[in-house]
Structure 1
Amino acid sequence: MKFDEFEVGMVIHHPLVPVTREEMLEFARQYDPQWFHVDEERAEHGHWNGLIGSGWLTCSKAMRMAVDSALHDSESFASPGLERLRWLLPVRPGDSIRLEATVASKRVSSSRSDLGIVRWFWNVYNQHDELVVELEATSMFDLK
């Protein structure tokens, strides 16, 4: 989507994508090797009663869904960061997740007329329509 196509209040959807045990383990071993992400036997007896995926894997998959559904052909070039990020429920092997991104605001920078700014709320749901992650992101667009 181009910057001009974003509208305040619009909701961008990406359908369910699977989260496999193998990708959870591979991601965690490389980037977040905490025992509840990588040690299946120990995780069975832990707080979560089983292996859970890294929240960073969930965020990475959400980013991919945002690119696939909105940013892939846009003028987006950067983000100054997130305002908030909450992991509400764990994602488990065999779950599927989907993205709903709601555009909260859209504007052209007051100091740079070639810079578009979109603030949007991303909600990631599992296959049971339970909210697992919520975050507020800002994306910047090159309007040259």
Structure 2
Amino acid sequence: MEYYEDIEVGDVIEYGSKTVTKAEIIEFATKFDPQPFHLDEEAAKESLFGGLAASGWHTASICMRLLVDGVLSEQASQGAAGVDELRWKRPVRPGDTLSIEVEVLSKEPDPNDPTRGRMRSRLTGFNQDDEAVISWVGLGMVERREPAEE
């Protein structure tokens, strides 16, 4: 298990992959983001995407799953206070295979809780052509191995 003390600013972890199917794109959109360019190939051709594209929220969900499986499952994570700078950089299409890269940007002790630290990290999701499709800055909380003295 990796604790706050084990994490260094500048650390980079790469993980993935998940291939996205047309059926998954339509299923997610039907439930959560029913816009025509996520649901219907013909309507999507007429959109600014020029073809069926996954919801940005679907892309974020896939990357979150990769983050949990590849990073947070090995870390004494205590959740997150949110995300900053969420950006959808390019459409995710049926057949795209996604992977992630996570870089630790900063860390500091939590001033309100001596049992954990705060960490800012940038997640970038890439397709099979190494093109960035999404990014965000996570505001993570990680358990300390040794609680800070108060």
- TM-score band w.r.t. shorter chain: over 0.9
Q: Which runs of 5+ in 2 are unaligned?
A: none
String of CA shifts for 1:104-125, please: whole Å, max 9, x gaps: 1122213321121111001111
Aligned to 1:72, the other structure's residue is in SS state: helix
- Paired residues in the alignment total 144
String of CA shifts for 1:91-140, please: whole Å, max 9, x gaps: 00111111000001122213321121111001111111111111111111
User: 1:66 is matched with which residue?
Assistant: 67
String of CA shifts for 1:64-114, please: whole Å, max 9, x gaps: 111111111432122111111110100001111110000011222133211
User: 2:81 is matched with which residue?
Assistant: 80
User: 2:34 is matched with which residue?
Assistant: 33
For 1:105 and 1:6, how far apart are their aligned partners in 2?
10
What code does the residue aligned with 2:93 have? Answer: R
For 1:41 and 1:19, how far apart are their aligned partners in 2?
19
For 2:143 and 2:6, how far apart are their aligned partners in 1?
14
User: 1:2 is matched with which residue?
Assistant: 2
Q: Does 2:122 align with 1:121? A: yes
User: 2:17 is matched with which residue?
Assistant: 16
Structure 1 ranges of 4+ moved more than 3 A: none
Question: What TM-score results when the alignment is normalised by the length of structure 1?
Answer: 0.92
What code does the residue aligned with 1:2 have? Answer: E
1:22 offset after TM fit, Å? 1.0
Question: What TM-score results when the alignment is normalised by the length of structure 2?
Answer: 0.89
What code does the residue aligned with 1:32 have? Answer: D
Aligned to 1:141, the other structure's residue is in SS state: strand
Q: Which runs of 5+ in 1 are unaligned?
A: none
For 1:134 and 1:73, how far apart are their aligned partners in 2?
21
Q: CA RMSD in A?
A: 1.4
User: 1:137 is matched with which residue?
Assistant: 138
